[in-house]
Chain A
């Protein structure tokens, strides 16, 4: 139950005291290879990003990052074990070595990057914080929210942005803070608060969890930058590189038209960019300490970034989020991966 979350956090903190010196911080690659699976920290259930489907298989944009890393390292995208974590637990779980990689819609910030012993390995979704209100309130802009009660999930950057926004606009608010996004939605539905605030992508995901999704609307204002991405422990450069380049491989694959469907045909391609992603020429897997087929495995088993996006959060999913700023750089978006060469 809920009390568990605190016990978990405490246990993770205690784990820091007991784990053998530094062994968890170095050699994550060897560790994962020896175990035979990747331990991946995900959310407790957020449709589109990381959520178990009807059969209990984890699905989503964040889950695909874990699967890509598993494909690159172990050659099999299915060799992942998932640890659902609340916002509060996630960093301690990573610090203490409970998980190998945290892929849980986590915002990249200066504090987190510098003082928690963590490294952000890239951005797999460019998000921003927004507000969801009940349509019957008749509110059309966040600037009309003076005096509102706001439901919010504890321990997120959202909590800080909210305070900043209301202070900046000289408005007051009542924070109603819950532990999980499920409770937050419950509180919103029951009328405990007027507004639910979260990253916009989450708002769309949470809206379909409402009993009557049409009764709520997302306000147009975006009040913050929320670059979300996978996180690894600091001090293991090799592992950091592997996670980083697994994500870059997916983005590059989209750029050069590789998909899970055409990966085998593309082995015959003469385009040097395609051949380098597939490990046929160029740097191959050596620098990363991986098999030469690492890129091929990612593309074949997980797919390109675009594929993953459309399947999980885009037009092929219930969320129906437009690519927007998450389009590739050549299509006017922010997604830009360094070249594989």
Chain B
């Protein structure tokens, strides 16, 4: 008679089995880590709150509704001293987003051009690109920002001696002054025409791509869309009797008044950020292109494609799969690096909110937590968007 294993033995056995199950083990350790992390944050947060209370420091986000009372040099939304600290947060945030978006656009363009140029067969072009990349990649960004701001832009003349272009555009040490559009009645039709042209161009591009895939016949999409985007609004503009006027900047008192001004802080930061990041992007593009096997370009060549066509249709689309993930990191870096703005007084989130607002209110913990949350959100959103794009690119190629 076989002895039945006692139920006690059985459960011990089971327990041992469970304990040696890698999945269960992984789960247990993960739970322990999560509890540890939560406990850690719980401890430091409650400790901070206790310390704040002990020292009679006001806590909470109530300060966001108080009047700020200080000026900001550049604001994308309406702002003056009578607005609240909550508003200064938005102003700083928008300025950060502005510099990041512009920087990403410029850095991508320069980076792609330089990356392709470094692989060029033309000796001069490839060497120029190499020197550019190796120089800018190896100089700290902060120094580059200082260089553009203090060395280059400071050499510009004073307002009274401005460099002018047709009495409409003025350049001086205070910034670049451009005429601003003045919208009159009927101007909305011009704007609508512009958007119709843009949407039309997108539809056209899709149609042209599909036709080319099916028939192999190319269509000059770029030229046609460029022409329509310029011409259609222009025609509407004249039909409506020129409803958009220009307000010219004019020297009044200390400086130019009216028009649009690009402040030198923005210019210096933008130039430094885009040139610096572009050098890294160029290397990413180069590595991406080199990752595409040589057979692909030979095949493209044997089909009779020009070098440009081969790049555009064969090489770059395949290289993108390698390029996108590290490119995402560069976009994130650029966004975070924009916080160096404070060194030259560009009113970004760190300068306006973590700088002035923090000091006026003294709410260090709240302000810093909020600032960190903002950068985290921007970074995660960028990542998600780029991942979606990455997936799309990867699928198309299969």
List chain A positions with a Cβ less than 8 A from chain B: 1-3, 6, 9-10, 12-13, 16-19, 21-22, 25, 87-88, 91-92, 95, 111-112, 115-117, 137, 145-149, 154-156, 159-160, 162-164, 167, 173-179, 183, 186-187, 190-192, 194, 233-235
Cβ contact within 8 Å between B54 and A25 = yes
The answer to whether B351 touches A3 (Cβ under 8 A) is no
Contact A88 B358 (CB under 8 A): yes
**Which of A88, A148, A154 has the most C-beta atoms of chain B within 10 angstroms of its own C-beta?**
A154
Does B365 contact A17, Cβ atoms closer than 8 Å? yes
Residues of chain A lying within 8 A (CB to CB) of residue B154 = 190, 192
In the complex, the answer to whether B158 meets A9 with C-beta atoms within 8 Å is no
User: Is B255 in contact with chain A by the CB < 8 A criterion?
Assistant: yes
A-B contact pairs, 25 of them (CB 8 A): A6-B355, A9-B354, A9-B364, A9-B368, A17-B44, A18-B44, A21-B51, A22-B54, A25-B55, A115-B362, A116-B57, A117-B55, A155-B360, A159-B356, A160-B69, A174-B71, A174-B73, A177-B351, A179-B343, A179-B345, A186-B150, A192-B154, A194-B254, A194-B255, A235-B54
Q: Are B254 and A149 in contact (CB under 8 A)?
A: yes
* 0 or 1 for each of B324-349: is its CB under 8 Å from A? (1 = yes): 00000000000000011011010100
Partner of B71, one of A22, A87, A162, A187: A162
Cβ A176 vs Cβ B253 within 8 A: no
Question: Does any Cβ of A come within 8 Å of B81's Cβ?
Answer: yes
Nearest residue, chain A, Cβ from B142: A1
Question: What residues on B are CB-neighbors of A115 within 8 Å?
Answer: 57-58, 362
Q: B106 interface residue, CB < 8 Å from A?
A: no
In the assembled complex, the Cα of A88 lies from the Cα of B361 at a distance in Å of 11
Q: Are B173 and A192 in contact (CB under 8 A)?
A: yes
Name which residue of chain B comes closest to A2, CB basis.
Answer: B343
A88, B73: Cβ atoms under 8 Å?
no
- Within the complex, which residue of A13, A88, A146, A148 is in contact with B355, where a contact is CB–CB below 8 Å? A88
Q: Which one of A10, A21, A176 contacts B345 once the chains associate, using CB atoms below 8 Å? A: A176
Q: Which residue of B lies closest to A87 (CB)?
A: B359
Q: Which residues of A contact B48 (CB under 8 A)?
A: 16-17
B87 contacts the other chain (Cβ, under 8 Å)?
A: no
Residue on A nearest B359 in the bound complex, by CB: A155
Contact status A117-B57, CB under 8 Å: yes
Q: From residue 38 to 89 of chain B, which have CB atoms closer than 8 A to chain A?
A: 44-45, 47-48, 50-52, 54-58, 69-73, 81-82
Whether the pair A13, B51 counts as a contact (CB closer than 8 A) is no
Q: Of B150, B351, B359, which is within 8 A of A156 by CB?
A: B359
Contact (Cβ within 8 A) A234 B51: no
Query: How far, in Å, is B124 (CB) from chain A's closest CB?
Result: 37
CB distance from A21 to the nearest CB of B (A): 6
- With A1-B142, A117-B55, A235-B56 as contacts: A179 and B355 at CB distance below 8 Å: yes
Q: Is the interface of B mostly helix, strand, loop or mixed?
A: helix
Cα–Cα distance between A17 and B345 once the two chains are bound (Å) = 30
Q: How far is the CA of A178 from the CA of B347 in the complex (A)?
A: 10
**A177–B48 CA distance with the chains assembled, in angstroms:** 31
Number of A-B contacts (CB under 8 A): 158
Chain B: how many interface residues by the 8 Å CB criterion? 51
Cβ of B264 < 8 Å from any Cβ of A? yes
Q: Are B81 and A147 in contact (CB under 8 A)?
A: no
Contact: B52 with A10, CB < 8 Å?
Answer: no
A3 to B332 alpha-carbon distance, docked (Å): 18
Interface string of B243-264 (1 = CB under 8 A from A): 0000000001111010000001
Contact B345 A187 (CB under 8 A): yes
Decide: B362 and A2 in contact? CB cutoff 8 A. Answer: no
Instruction: Pick the contact of A9: B47, B174, B257, B358 (CB < 8 A).
Output: B358
A176–B77 alpha-carbon span in the complex (Å) = 18
5 more CB-based (< 8 A) A-B contacts, given A17-B48, A154-B355? A2-B142, A10-B368, A17-B45, A17-B47, A162-B70
Q: Is B254 touching A148 in the complex (CB atoms < 8 A)?
A: yes
Chain B residues near A234 (CB, 8 Å)? 55-56
The docked-state distance in angstroms from the alpha carbon of A162 to that of B253 is: 19
Docked CA distance A156–B47 (Å): 29
Contact assessment for A155 and B364 in the assembled complex, using a CB-CB cutoff below 8 Å: no
Chain B residues closer than 8 Å to A147, beta-carbon distance = 252-255, 257
Chain B CB within 10 Å, residue with most, of A17, A137, A160, A183:
A17
A-B complex: 3 closest residue pairs judged by Cβ atoms:
A155-B359, A117-B55, A17-B48
Residues of A within 8 A of B254 (CB): 137, 145, 147-149, 194
Q: A143 to chain B: closest CB distance in Å? A: 13
Q: Which residues of chain B have C-beta atoms less than 8 A from A186's C-beta?
A: 150
Say whether B350 faces chain A, with CB atoms less than 8 Å apart: yes
Contact partners of A1 in chain B: CB under 8 A: 142, 343
Q: How far is the CB of B148 from chain A (nearest CB, A)?
A: 13
Tell me whether B347 and A21 are in contact (CB under 8 A).
no
Q: Find chain A residues with CB under 8 A from B58 CB.
A: 115-116
- Write out the residue numbers on chain A whose beta carbons fall within 8 Å of the beta carbon of B252: 147
Interface centre among B342, B351, B361 (most CB of A within 10 A): B342
Instruction: Return chain A residues, CB-CB under 8 Å to B54.
Output: 21-22, 25, 235
Q: Is the CB of B70 within 8 A of A19?
A: no
Give the CA-CA distance A149 to B52 in the complex, in Å: 39
